[in-house]
Amino acid sequence: MIQADFWQGRRVLLTGHTGFKGSWLCLWLQKMGARVIGYALPPATQPNLFELARVEQQMVSILADVRDADRLRSALTTHQPEVVFHLAAQAEILPSYARPVDTYATNVMGTVNLLDAVRHSPGVRAVVVVTSDKCYENAESSHCYREGDALGGVDPYSSSKACAELVSAAYRSSFFNPADYARHGTAVATARAGNAIGGGDWSANRLIPDAMRAFAEQRPLQVRHPAAIRPWQHALDPLAGYLLLAEQLYQQGPAVAEAWNFGPSGGNTHSVAQVLDKLIDIWGDGAAWSGDPSTHPHEAHGLRLNASKAISVLRWQPHWSLDRALRMTVDWHRAHSRGEDMAAVSKQQINSYCQAAKSTVVT
C-alpha cells in the first residue's frame, strides 16, 4: 500500500504534468503533501484536466519541452528533486504516423535528456520512466506479455517506446549500475501500463474520449477496430503502481530497479466492442456506436499484460474493475457538464480509490 507519509514534503519532479495521467498524478502527490515540480508543454487539448482541476495552484509548473536538454537539466539543478517521474511523451499511435520524427525526438531523445539530467543531479534517488504496454514485440497471440519478453513495435509510437526502454536500460547499466549503487545512489526503473481511462481525457483518437464526445453530442461513435483487445484500466490503478514503485526504489534501490508491468487483474482484457457496450449501458440516453469501414493505419489487434511480478514483489494490485473505471469516468464527465468544481470531483475520486485500496488485503 502507498505510504502517504513517505511523500510528505518530498521533492518530486514530474515531466508531462499537464497531460491526462500527469495531472491525476500531480493531484495525488499534492494530496499527500509532496512538493511537486512539473515540466511539460502547455496542455494539448481544450478543455483539459490540468486547468479544470487547477493543478498548477499547488506546484511549480515549468512549461518547456523535454527535447530542450539544457532547460531540462536546469530544472533539475534548480529544484533538486529526490524522485523523478518521466511521463512526457507523444502518446498516440495515429499522430506517430503523421509525425514520426517528432515522435522519436520526444519519446527517445526526451528520455535521453531526462536521464542525462538525472546523471548530473546527485540528489535524485528514484526515477520511474513511464513507457507503454505497446513496447513489446507483438506476435498477435493470446500471450500475456511479461517484462522479459522481446521489445519491438511496427508503428513509430510503439517502436519509440521500445527505444525508450532500451535507453533506460543502457543508462541504468552505464551510469546507474546497481553494482555501483553505493557511489551514485540512484535507482532507475521503467513502468509499462495498459490503456488508461478516466475523467479529464480529451485526447483525439482515443476510444473513451471519442465516445464521451459522441455521446454528449448525441451522435453514434464510429469505431476503427471494434474487435481490438486491450488491457483497459482506470488511470489511478497504474498511477498507484508508479507511486509504489518510486517508494520502493527510494528505499530499496537496486532491488527493484528494472522493468515493471501494471495491468488489469489476471491479464483481463476486453475488446473495444465490449468496452463500448458496457459504456453505453452506463451512459444510456440513446448512446450508440458502429464500425468505421474506411481504411486505417495498422494498430495491434490483441495486447495483453501479465502484471504478476508487480503483484507479488511490489505488493501492488489493481483495485477498480473495468465496470467501476467506466462508471467513474462517466461520473466525472457528467459532473463537468453540470459545471461542478472539477478539482473537488477529481480529489474525491482519488479518495474513493484510496478507500478501495485500504479495503483490499494483499496476500
Please write the tens of the pLDDT for every residue from 224-246: 889 888 899 999 999 999 999 99
Residues belonging to the chain: 363
d(CA 363, CA 350) in angstroms, rounded, equals: 23
Q: What pTM value is reported for the model?
A: 0.95
Total of domains in the chain: 1
Question: What is the reported pLDDT for 294?
Answer: 73
Q: Give the C-alpha separation, 59 to 124, whole Å.
A: 19
pLDDT at 87: 98
pLDDT tens readout for residues 184-195: 999 999 999 989
Report the distance separating Cα 232 and Cα 247, nearest Å: 25
Tens-digit pLDDT profile for residues 43-94: 999 999 999 999 999 999 999 999 999 999 999 999 999 999 999 999 888 8
CATH of the domain at 57: 3.40.50.720
Which domain does 339 fall in, by range? 4-358
How many Cα atoms occupy the beta-carbon half-sphere of 79 within 13 Å? 26
Asked if residue 303 is part of any domain, the answer here is: yes
- Flag whether 35 is in a domain: yes
Cα 55 to Cα 100, 301, 322, 323, distances in angstroms: 30, 36, 26, 27
- 94-125 pLDDT, tens digit per residue, is 899 999 999 999 999 999 999 999 999 999 99
Q: For the chain, give the percent of residues with pLDDT over 90.
A: 84
Dig out the grid coordinates for 4 from the structure: 502517504
Asked if residue 16 belongs to a domain, the reply is yes
- Which residues share a beta bridge with 186? none
What is the percentage of the chain residues whose pLDDT exceeds 70?
96
- The answer to the question of residue 363 being in a domain is no
Helix, strand, or coil (residue 62): strand
Q: Is the pLDDT of residue 360 over 60?
A: no
Residue type, 170: A
- C-alpha cell at position 274: 465490449
Point out the least confidently predicted range of 175-179, 204-208, 336-340.
204-208
Residue 22 domain flag: yes
- Comparing 10-19, 263-272, 325-334, the range with the smallest average pLDDT is 263-272
> Residue 133's pLDDT is what?
94
The lowest-confidence range among 55-59, 209-213, 265-269, 324-328 is 265-269
Spatial separation of the C-alpha atoms in residues 27 and 200, rounded to whole Å: 13
